Structures are given as C-alpha cells and as structure tokens.
Structure 1
Amino acid sequence: MLHEIWDRATATQPVPDARFVLATGVVALVLVLLPSTWPRVRMGVTVVHEAGHAVVALLVGRRLRSIRLHSDTSGLTVSRGKPRGPGMVAMLAAGYLAPAALGLLAALLLAAGRSVGLLWLLVLLSAGLILWIRNGYGFLVLLVGGAGVLLVTWYGDGRVQSVAAYLIAWLLLLAAPRPLVELLTAGRRRPRTSDADQLAGLTRVPAVLWILLLLLANLAGLVVGVSTLAPDLV
C-alpha cells in the first residue's frame, strides 16, 4: 500500500492546455468573489493560515499547544515560548503569508506535472493538523476536507484530479489577499486581536503598515503564481 501511494504521489501527469488552466482560474475567481461562496473559501484559507502559524511556531522552537477553527471562519493557534523576539514575529506574520506561499508551491508542482503529488501533500497537511485540533468544529472541517481530497486522489481519474488540483492552486493564490483587504477596509472596526495588531505591539510598526506589507507580499505571490500557472497571461 505504501509503495503504491508513493508511486502515485511521485508520478507525473501531462500539463493541461492553457484553456483548461484559464477556465479553472475563472471558476476560482468567481468562488472568491461571490458572497455566497466566499465563506466556504475563506474557511479553507483559515485552515492554511493556522497551518502557517503552527509550522513556523515549530520551526522557531516554540511548543505548539492547540489549533481551533470556528464556524465564523476565524481560527486560533496557541503555542508556548518567548512572548517577544524574531520567532514570535515570524510566527504571527506566517499566517497571512501561508495561503500565498502554499499557492506558489502548488503552482510550481502543477507546472512540473505533479498534480497528484499536490493532492497528497494536502492530505498529509490535513492529517498533521488534525492531531492539534482541540474543538469539534475544527475537527469536522479537517476530517471532511482531508477525506474529500483523499477520495479524489485515490478514486478520481486524471481529469478530475487535475481539475481539483488546479482549482485549489488558483483558490489559494486568488483568495490570499482578500482577508487583508477586509482588514484594511474595516479601519477602526478591525478587531484589535488581529495578527497585524499583535505584530504592531511587538515591533512598534503600525498595524496598517503591517497589513499593507503582507498584502503586497500576497499580491506579489499572486503575480508569480499566475505567471507559473498561465505564463501566456503575463
């Protein structure tokens, strides 16, 4: 079984034509922009956001304690360690950067014909996160999402797998900037517990400037991701 999984995950698939790539991008853009579908997309972004916090927390030597996902599409990652310093700054900044970073990685894998490898990577990410989830709703989100990707990966044909992989990559890239735009437009109504406000408290750099910097990084990731997925469009 492990040998078969490895063979599937490392196999290469033909890169689809430009029309297919563009079509999945248009569908993803509609899902990001429509008010009826954005909350579901945003929950996926929140999962990756919290994963970014968790991974960087471990990388900088902090002790990961718990991850929670809530029905209002918010999330919370709790870790223990020094309350200040570069490690804490990196962990806080990683949340809003994680969707674009994963989207870029997805684009690179797809450009190399590794659509199934991308799907298996997402399955592993879901399995790793579920070990740290400490609330029922978050557990259900990861279980359903991870199981859905696993079913597509194991039982779907090449066309279905390509659609799923490209749609996920586009969603990550296109959705990553929107939560930061929402923070920016909220103004004084912005919750003061946001990552940007916590970064402002640690660094004395204004929260608005942090939001703008993170937004610019996400937009740069979008440009690079689009040029990787659909080079003819750039």
Structure 2
Amino acid sequence: MSGEHSVSRVWDSITATQPAPTPRAIVACAVVALLVVAWRPLWIRARHLVTITHEGAHGVAALLSGRRLSGIRLHSDTSGLTLSRGRRTGPGMILTALAGYPGPALVGLGAAGLLRAGHAVALLWLALLLLALLLAQIRNWFGLWSVLVAGAAVFAVSWWASPAAQSTFAYTVTWFLLLAAPRPVLELARSRRAGRARDSDADVLGRLTRTPGALWVAVFLVVTVAALAAGVVLIAGRPF
C-alpha cells in the first residue's frame, strides 16, 4: 500500500461518520466499563489509563497557562508526576494543579460529544495523536511502556478493526473514562481522612488558595459526577 493511499485512507476514515452501535450494544459497553471500574482486579490495571489522562491534563494545563513543561512520569503503582517550571504561585500553578482529577472526566465528556456526532474513528485517531504528543514528555521507562501499549492498542483498532469494532471500542473507552473519573477522587478523600496524601493536588490547591483541601476534593467530585451525567445525556441523545 502506497504512502499516499494510506494517508488518504486515514483521512477518509477520520472525516467520515459512523453509525452508532445499537442501544443494546451501547448499554453493553457501559456495563463492561462499569465492571472494569468496580472490580478491583481489573481496576488496578485499567487505572493506568486514568493516570495517563490525569497527568496529560496537568501537562496541557501547564502549557496553556504559560508554564514550561519539564516532563511526565508514570509509575507502576498507578501514581504519576508532572513537572513544570514557572511561578510557584498564581493562576498558572492553580490551573495546573486543578486540571488533573477532572481531566479524565472532561476527556470522556469530549469523547461523548464526538460519538454523538458520529465520529468514533476520528476520536480514535485524535486519541492516538494525543498519546504521541504525551510520549514526547515521558521521562521514565514505565511511563514510556504504558503510553506505547495504550497507543499500540488504539492504533491496532483504528487500522485493522471493522467499523463496528471501532465504534464499540470507542464507546467502551468513553464509558470507562466517564465512569472511572469519580473513583480516584473518592480514593483521595479516603486517603486524606486517613492522614495520607498530604501533597495531593487538593492539598496543593488548598495551600495555593488558602482554602481547605477538602473543598477541592468536593470540587473534583462535583466536576467528575457532572461530566458523567452530561456524558450519559450526550450518548443517550445519539440518534440510533
């Protein structure tokens, strides 16, 4: 296959619209995603996708607020770290700290919007592009491996899977991000009650704004739950 033909094929798939799966299939995708989130043996593995999105959101916020991104690390215990340079206080630092926990929910909401418009394949290629940009900022081997595995999975589905399989995959990942986003916030709340996570995003925001860290945990929870509700509305409103 020539390079020109390959590019044409990709562009045609990106700009085309795909029919949504049946309502039953969409519900099945949601059930699968919910099972992954709720069942701990699956969650501890799938949570790496949430961490990738969480740290990517920190990175995007840092760049948008004028900070200089120094690198991103992803760890095997599903934690992560995004380093940026700039003022240690002020709106840029606040925006950067704020972006992480809502990040997966907002990405899921954006994905739901693309699915509603019938652009499941465009969603997959956009995800691949974002993973490629994130890869350039990774600064440790586990993070490199995590992003490469995620990118390889998305590319394989985008390139070789049937249109029906591509849509099913896109819906399942979207459901996963929407359903998964509140869980790390609840885990954070439990860790803080137990006296741990004193350097969490919520505590950083508390110190930056001179407000209780618990307030920011509540903000994270409201945003992630609201995004889930809005995502359900968007997907349910997709014409079948």
TM-score (norm 1): 0.96
Question: Does the aligned pair in 1 maintain the 2:116–2:237 contact within 8 Å?
Answer: no
Q: What corresponds to 1:197 in structure 2?
A: 203
Q: Is it true that 1:61 corresponds to 2:66 in the alignment? A: yes
Q: What corresponds to 2:37 in structure 1?
A: 32
**Distance (whole Å) between structure 1 residues aligned to residue 219 and residue 185 of structure 2:** 10
Q: What corresponds to 2:15 in structure 1?
A: 10
Letter in 2 for 1:163: T
Letter in 2 for 1:128: L
Once the two structures are superposed, what CA deviation does each residue of 1:140-188 show, in whole Å capped at 9, x if it has no partner? Answer: 0001110110010000001210111000000000000000001112213
Local SS of the residue matching 2:69: strand
RMSD of the TM alignment (CA)? 1.1
Letter in 2 for 1:183: L
Letter in 2 for 1:132: Q
- How far does residue 3 in structure 1 lie from its aligned partner after superposition? 2.9
Q: What corresponds to 1:72 in structure 2?
A: 77
**Distance (whole Å) between structure 2 residues aligned to residue 105 and residue 40 of structure 1:** 24
Local SS of the residue matching 1:55: helix
Q: What corresponds to 1:90 in structure 2?
A: 95
Local SS of the residue matching 2:125: helix
Q: Unaligned 5+ residue runs, structure 1?
A: none
Q: What corresponds to 1:43 in structure 2?
A: 48
Once the two structures are superposed, what CA deviation does each residue of 1:28-56 show, in whole Å capped at 9, x if it has no partner? Answer: 00100001001122110000000000011
Question: Does the aligned pair in 2 maintain the 1:41–1:171 contact within 8 Å?
Answer: no
Local SS of the residue matching 1:192: coil
Letter in 2 for 1:62: R
Q: Aligned pairs, how many? A: 232
Q: What corresponds to 2:217 in structure 1?
A: 211
- How far does residue 96 in structure 1 lie from its aligned partner after superposition? 0.7
Local SS of the residue matching 1:163: helix
**Distance (whole Å) between structure 1 residues aligned to residue 70 and residue 10 of structure 2:** 31
**Distance (whole Å) between structure 1 residues aligned to residue 203 and residue 8 of structure 2:** 47
**Distance (whole Å) between structure 2 residues aligned to residue 89 and residue 155 of structure 1:** 42
Q: What corresponds to 2:134 in structure 1?
A: 129
Q: What corresponds to 1:221 in structure 2?
A: 227
Which stretches of structure 1, 4 residues or longer, exceed 4 Å deviation after superposition?
A: none
Question: Does the aligned pair in 2 maintain the 1:41–1:175 contact within 8 Å?
Answer: no
**Distance (whole Å) between structure 2 residues aligned to residue 172 and residue 126 of structure 1:** 15
Question: Does the aligned pair in 1 maintain the 2:33–2:179 contact within 8 Å?
Answer: yes
Q: What corresponds to 1:162 in structure 2?
A: 167
Local SS of the residue matching 1:30: helix
- How far does residue 231 in structure 1 lie from its aligned partner after superposition? 4.1
The 5 A counterparts of 1:172-187 are: 172-186=177-191, 187=193
